[in-house]
Amino acid sequence: MATLSDRVPDNVAGRYYTDNTCIDCDQCRVIAPDLFSRNEDTGTSFVSKQPVTEDEIRLAEEALDACATASIGNDGA
């Protein structure tokens, strides 16, 4: 799982985040495009919107589980 101390600064405040181990595979943005965005300068993904609804939480968790580098964290887990 991602490391909170390595959280990238682009993430919005909240329980879900990405850390600096992201390799820009695009998986999270494919699964949850309303929740994850890409920083064009660094080539990494970040949480641009925290999930609120049950569907959004399910998508965030699906992205977390699918992340090949375990770069998505959930500090509420």
Does pLDDT of 57 surpass 70? Answer: yes
Contact call for residues 64 and 16 (beta carbons, < 8 A): yes
Segment 13-52, tens digit of pLDDT: 999 999 999 999 999 999 999 999 999 999 999 999 999 9
The pair phi, psi for residue 58, each rounded to 5°, is -60, -45
pLDDT bucket at 77, cuts 50 / 70 / 90? low
Task: Provide mean pLDDT across the span 55-69.
Answer: 98
Does pLDDT of 4 surpass 90? Answer: yes
Does pLDDT of 76 surpass 80? Answer: no
